[in-house]
Amino acid sequence: MPSKTVLITGCSAGGIGHTLAMEFQRRGLTVFATARSTSKMSGLEKLPNTTLLSLDVTSPTSIAEAVERIKAQTGGKLDYLVNNSGRNIMIPALDADIDDAKEMFDVNFWGILRMVQGFAPLLIEAKGTIVNIGSIVAYLHKPFTSKLEFPERSVARALSLADRLRAGLYNASKAAVHQFDETLRLEMAPLGVKVVTVVTGSIETNIITNCPEPHLPPTSRYLAAKGALDKQYENKLDFKQATPDAFAKQVVGDVLGGAVGKVFRGPYAGTVRWASHIMPMWMQDRILLDGSDLDKVGKTAS
């Protein structure tokens, strides 16, 4: 019997996609690992039943070429589509370049829609599963921060995960994915296709590496908070993190086990799930603002 097939986007070495590809392959699947450049997926080329493909999720032409390539190799079926590609920008909303923000959304949100539309016929034929990598920051409204010293320490650490990676625009892109997935899950069910959203906690990845360094313009209203933003970018934060390998084992187990809807994986994911529903807004705000230096913004120096 032919093995099940999976296509994963964003498989550059050092990221979640790379380890997901390795774990799916270890469990006997035929893997199509993709990135904009195949040279970035070092190590995967040595794995049996693994094909490396160049794929840009912002390019309809690139996606169409990948669809035809996979259709030819699988007989027109794809069992699992894992949308993992992502971009990050780190800047206050008032200082953000709209074109940069659009480019981020083009990868993080519209790229997922392009992939879903492009591979839908193969997924429907296989009665397959769409897996979109989300984040706990979709539940948070963290600006930027450093290490917290809040009394409710475990909750504070969990809620402050957004500080470690991203600013509000990134959070918004992930929230859009989560909301999209909930509707997509209902729309795809009559076609026999499952939709899974992986709400990702704190994982060791290279997402900061490809994030442009934040530069506040001289006219920025947030210059007083620049130190907190710099700490976020420089990764000078104290958080528990799961290794990509451990995360991949859990997620692949969920997916192959028939999960549907949201699954929460990685440190702090469970806490954020609880806190986002139970904790009152004023308490969330107090935790999320701690260490952000936003209390210094708008103050006139004496």
Share of the chain above pLDDT 70, in %: 68
pLDDT band at 93 (very low <50, low <70, confident <90, very high): confident
The total number of structural domains that make up the chain: 1
pLDDT band at 302 (very low <50, low <70, confident <90, very high): very low
Please state the three-class secondary structure of 237-302 as a single string.
Answer: CCCCCECHHHHHHHHHHHHHCCCCEEEEECCCHHHHHHHHHHCCHHHHHHHHHCCCCHHHCCCCCC
Cβ-proximal residues to 205 (8 Å cutoff; 6+ apart), any chain: 14, 15, 16, 244
User: Any idea which residue has 């493909």 for tokens?
Assistant: 53
Q: What is the pLDDT of residue 221?
A: 74
Tens digits of residue pLDDT in 193-244? 999 999 988 777 665 555 556 677 788 776 776 666 666 656 544 555 667 8
Q: For residue 265, what is the domain's CATH number?
A: 3.40.50.720
Q: What is the pLDDT of residue 233?
A: 57
Say if residue 188's pLDDT is above 90: yes
Task: Tell me the whole-structure pTM to 2 decimals.
Answer: 0.81
Has residue 299 been placed in a domain?
Answer: no
Q: What is the pLDDT of residue 244?
A: 81
Q: Across the chain, what does the average pLDDT equal?
A: 81
- Cα–Cα separations (whole angstroms), residue 103 to 55, 90, 97, 138, 142: 16, 13, 10, 18, 21
- Answer yes or no: are the C-beta atoms of 94 and 220 closer than 8 Å: yes
- For residue 208, the enclosing domain spans 5-294
Report the half-sphere exposure of 70 (CA within 13 A, side-chain side).
Answer: 35
Q: Which among 141-150, 157-166, 184-193, 266-275 has the top mean pLDDT?
A: 184-193
Say if residue 155's pLDDT is above 50: no
233 is catalytic: no
Has residue 32 been placed in a domain?
Answer: yes
* C-alpha–C-alpha distance, residues 285 and 294, integer Å: 12
Q: Which two tokens stand for residue 142?
A: 């963290």
Cβ-proximal residues to 97 (8 Å cutoff; 6+ apart), any chain: 91
222 is catalytic: no
CA 223 to chain centre: 29
- Answer yes or no: are the C-beta atoms of 138 and 283 closer than 8 Å: no
Say if residue 299's pLDDT is above 90: no
Has residue 170 been placed in a domain?
Answer: yes
Cβ atoms < 10 Å from Cβ of 165: 24
Has residue 41 been placed in a domain?
Answer: yes
Cβ atoms < 10 Å from Cβ of 257: 8
Q: What is the pLDDT of residue 147?
A: 30
List 77, 142, 174, 231, catalytic entry: 174
Has residue 301 been placed in a domain?
Answer: no
Say if residue 161's pLDDT is above 50: no
Cβ atoms < 10 Å from Cβ of 189: 12
Q: DSSP class of residue 166?
A: -
Has residue 224 been placed in a domain?
Answer: yes
Report the half-sphere exposure of 252 (CA within 13 A, side-chain side).
Answer: 26
Q: Which two tokens stand for residue 62?
A: 């690139």
Has residue 300 been placed in a domain?
Answer: no
pLDDT band at 189 (very low <50, low <70, confident <90, very high): very high
List 4, 80, 142, 170, catalytic entry: 170
Share of the chain above pLDDT 90, in %: 53
Looking at 120-124, 169-173, 192-196, 217-221, which range is the least confident one? 217-221
- Cα–Cα separations (whole angstroms), residue 224 to 97, 146, 285, 298: 20, 14, 19, 8
Has residue 302 been placed in a domain?
Answer: no
Tens digits of residue pLDDT in 21-40? 999 999 999 999 999 999 99
Q: What is the pLDDT of residue 138?
A: 79
